A and B are shown apart, each in its own frame.
Chain A
Amino acid sequence: MAAVNRPLSPHLQIYKPQLTSVLSIIHRGTGVFLTLGALFLSCWLLSIANGPESYTAVQQYILAWYGQIILYAWVYSLYYHLCNGIRHLFWDMGLGLEIKTTYISGYIVVAVSILFTIATWCLVRGGV
C-alpha cells in the first residue's frame, strides 16, 4: 500500500478557522473538561458521605479563588455543551443543516451559554 501515492486530505492547520469548526472543537473540549467535572462530582459526593471533616476539606478547595474559577468554567462548559448538544440533536433530525442556519444557531449557542453563566453567577452571589 505504501507504494501507492494516494492523495491525502489537508491537515487541520491548512483550514481557516470557521465558527462551525471552532464550535465543534469546543464541544469536544468542554466534553473532556466536563468529564473531569463528573469525576470531581463523585469526589464531592463521597466527601459528604465521609462526614463533616472531609466535606469542609473539599469545600475549602471549592471556595478558594482557583476553585471558583474551575467551578464557573464547569458551569460555562455545561451550558455550552448542553446548548450545542441540543443543536446537534436537531441536526440528527435533519433540521437546521443549511449553512446560514448553522451560523445563526452557532451564535445563539455562544450567546445563551454566556448569558446563562452570568445569570447563574448572579443568582449564587445574590443568595437566591
Chain B
Amino acid sequence: MKLRTPLAKVRGLGSAKEGTHHWWAIRLTAIALVPLSLWFICSLISMTTLDYLAAIGWLQSPMTSILLILFVLTLFYHAQLGIQVIIEDYIENEALKITGIILLKFVMLFAGLTGIVAILKVFLGL
C-alpha cells in the first residue's frame, strides 16, 4: 500500500456522490422555515392569554397543529444539519466527531418526535 501515491489513494475512494445532499437539505429547510417560523411567532403573539385552556385551544385547531408539526419537523431537521457542520468544523478527533454526530442525531430525533407526539396528543384530545 505504501507504493501508492496520495493522489491514487484519494482517487481510489471515488466521488462522494451525495456530497450536495446536506448542502441542499439545509437550504431547503431554511426556505421552509421562513414562513413557518414567522407564522409560529405571530401565532404566539396573537394569543391573548397564556393559560392552560388557551394553550389547549390553540393546539386543538387543525391548522395550528398541522403548521406546528411542520414547523417542529423542519426546525429539528435544520438544527441537526446545522449543528452537524459545527461539530465537523471544530472537533478534530475523528472518533469524537463521529460519536458527537451520532449522539446529535439521536437527541434531535428524540426531541423532535416528543414535540410532535405532544401536539398530536392534545389535538386528538387523548
| A82 interface contact, C-beta 8 A | yes
Other-chain contact of A78, B30, B37, B79 (Cβ < 8 Å): B37
Residue from A28, A39, A45, A123 in contact with B45 in the complex, judged by beta carbons closer than 8 Å: A123
Given known contacts A38-B76, A39-B111, A89-B30, is B83 in contact with A75 (CB within 8 Å)? Answer: no
Instruction: Tell whether, in the assembled complex, residue B111 and residue A42 are in contact, meaning their CB atoms are under 8 Å apart.
Output: yes
Q: Does A128 lie within 8 Å of B122, measured CB to CB? A: no
Number of A-B contacts (CB under 8 A): 74
Q: Is the CB of A92 within 8 A of B83?
A: no
Chain B at the A interface: mostly helix, strand, loop or mixed?
A: helix
A82–B118 Cα distance when bound, in Å, is 26
Interface size class of B (residues with CB under 8 A): 20 to 34
The CA-CA distance from A78 to B72 in the complex, in Å, is 14
Q: Using Cβ atoms and an 8 Å threshold, which residues of chain A touch B61?
A: none
Residues B105-126 near A (CB distance < 8 A): 111-112, 114-115, 117-119, 121-122
Whether the Cβ atoms of A45 and B118 lie closer than 8 Å is yes
- Closest partner residue, chain B, to A78 (CB atom): B37
10 closest A-B pairs by beta carbon, nearest first, are A42-B115, A49-B118, A45-B118, A35-B79, A49-B121, A52-B52, A46-B118, A42-B111, A55-B52, A42-B114
